[in-house]
Amino acid sequence: MFRKNNSESDRKRSRPVTKASAATKLIRNKLALGVVLLLIFIIVIAGAYVVFFNNKDTSNNVSTNPIAIIDTSMGIIKVELYEDKMPITTENFIKLAKDGFYNGMIFHRIKANFMIQTGGYLPDGSQKSSPYGNIQFETSDVKHVDGAISMASTGAKVGGSAQFFICDGAQSFLDGNYAVFGVTIEGIDIVRTIAAQPHADSGDGTGKPTTDIIINSITIENQ
């Protein structure tokens, strides 16, 4: 009788312990599952965030401005034209390019660490002028950064016609005095190569290259 009571007592004592152990295990499993699901959720959200903002950045970086492809005898230079900030100057350049005005012209004034200039002369030395004449001088917050394309003219704050130059290195002293209307996005190495060619010194350190560097064509994309 004593043993029986002890046995029954033992069983009664053991049941709550068994149930508590199973319940604890179940809770732990649920917690572990919850943590795993939470981690998966965080990873998915983080991945979606990265994809969304990467796409957003790419979208924001895609310019709708026209691109000028300047095909020279030394290589191709691609320039983004700031149609949004310099509409008058850009429109004039695009019109001339589409007319084929620049085809066959030479770079007649160059200097390393300064600029390369074209749009005025043919290889035989004859001068060529724009059929549209001079345009209004235009300015904006665009600067003469490395690779900037800008209108050449007879002086500061004077509207140009067809001649333009591309900066080899930043030329901040020109800011506000000449109409910057774009920037080189590909082929800055070609700009530097042209600028470094041997040339006759015209007295200010610039001059016509000893060997003609010719513009084959200028085509406009993204328009």
Whether 8 shows a pLDDT value over 80: the answer reads no
Q: Where is the domain boundary, 26, 42, 62?
A: 62
Which residues span the domain enclosing 90? 67-221
Question: What is the DSSP annotation of 166-217?
Answer: EESS--GGGTTTS-EEEEEEE-HHHHHHHHTS-B---SSS-B-BSS--BEEE
Residues counted in the chain: 223
164 shares a domain with 177: yes
Q: Which residue has the tokens 């610039």?
A: 206
pLDDT band, residue 2 (cuts 50/70/90) = very low
Cβ(197)–Cβ(185) below 8 Å: no
pTM above 0.75, yes or no: no
Number of domains in the chain: 2
| 113 and 52 co-located in one domain | no
HSE-CB of 159 using CA atoms within 13 angstroms: 15
pLDDT digits (tens, 9 = 90+) for 126-167: 999 999 999 999 999 999 999 999 999 999 999 999 999 999
Regarding whether 191 and 142 lie in a shared domain, the answer is yes
41 and 128 inside one domain: no
Residues 55 and 74 in one domain: no
Q: Which two tokens stand for residue 107?
A: 């770079």
Among 45, 62, 79, residue at a domain's last position: 62
Judge whether residue 199 has pLDDT over 90.
yes
The enclosing domain of 211 has a CATH number of 2.40.100.10
Radius of gyration of the chain (CA): 35
Do residue 147 and residue 194 come from a single domain?
yes
Place 49 in a pLDDT band, splitting at 50, 70 and 90. low
CA–CA–CA angle 188, 75, 68 (5° rounding): 70
For 169, phi then psi, to 5°, come to 95, 160
**Does the pLDDT at position 93 exceed 90?**
yes
Amino acid at 8: E
Where is the domain boundary, 40, 62, 84?
62
